Amino acid sequence: MFLDRSRRPSDAPEPPTPDEIAAGFAVPLLTLAAQDSVEEASAGISSQTQDHQPVMEAATLSYTLWRNPSDRDDPANLVDLTEEMRAALDAEPPWPLPEWISRWRARMCYPLLWDAVRTTHISEVQGHDGYTRHTPELALVEHINYIVRNTYRDVRVHGGFPGELIDPASEDSIEHGYPVSVGGADVVGLRVDSDPHVLGLAADLDGRLLTAVIGREYLPYLRLAFATRPSPARP
């Protein structure tokens, strides 16, 4: 989430909700299967064009993690914040905050599975067959390196921004034929289990590419299964 710092927070527009992004996406989004330990937090979208025509669209879902979902007041659910971050969250804002920013401030106290599940849709554009090079393997590697670069920057990136990613994932890291649970059934998928900080999974689902990248510290609290997100009414 990016904020325009030239404007007061009270003037900042609310980002699109997961329902709004899902309603406008070309195909139904994929998500983690329903489980008490995760709660949908936000969504994002990106796209690529070729000769001014859309050729690829990707939507990502982020989740709040509950280590003890039966008692959300349990301190075990809290993230380890630095003293500086804790002071910033405890401080009274200099301006009134819109409700959506207040929600985000509250969520910062808990672990976030940021951009954990991505649905990628490749458009069938006449004359652009070469874009089919965006394979599940490439999608998985790109997703892993994106998460590692942005989430584990202090230990995995050398030099200033954007810096050099240390030991990035590659297609050589991929384990093929790994069963991935989608909609209650296993499909033939991909796994990268060699990265020290994250686990990556992928599957090609007939027009939708599923990729998921999860920090290893959160794996004990999750069931790694996926489902189609219920579709809201389309505009």
Instruction: For CA atoms 97, 67, 186, 114, give the dihedral sign.
Output: positive
The 10 Å Cβ neighbour count of residue 51 is: 8
- Give me the amino acid identity at 106: A
212-193-175 Cα angle (round to 5): 90
Lookup result for tokens 């007939």 = 206
Distance of alpha carbon 110 from its chain centroid, rounded? 16
**How does pLDDT run across 181-192, given as a tens digit for each residue?**
999 999 999 999
Measure the CA–CA gap between 131 and 14, rounded to whole angstroms. Answer: 33
Measure the CA–CA gap between 104 and 90, rounded to whole angstroms. Answer: 13
Q: What tens-digit pLDDT sequence spans the chain (235 residues)? A: 444 455 555 567 888 999 999 999 999 999 999 999 999 999 999 988 777 777 889 999 999 999 999 999 999 999 987 777 777 777 777 777 888 888 888 888 999 999 999 999 988 654 445 445 679 999 999 999 999 999 999 999 999 888 999 999 999 999 999 999 999 999 999 999 999 999 999 999 988 999 999 999 999 999 999 999 998 765 5
Which residues, 6+ apart, have CB-to-CB distance to 160 below 8 Å? none
pLDDT, position 48:
82
Cis peptide before 162 (omega within 30 of 0): yes
Which residues, 6+ apart, have CB-to-CB distance to 200 below 8 Å? 140, 143, 144, 169, 190, 191, 192, 193, 211, 212, 213
Closest CA to 32 of 225, 231, 230, 232: 225
Instruction: Report CA Rg, the chain.
Output: 19
Which residues, 6+ apart, have CB-to-CB distance to 14 below 8 Å? 98, 100
- For residue 142 the two structure tokens come to 């790109």
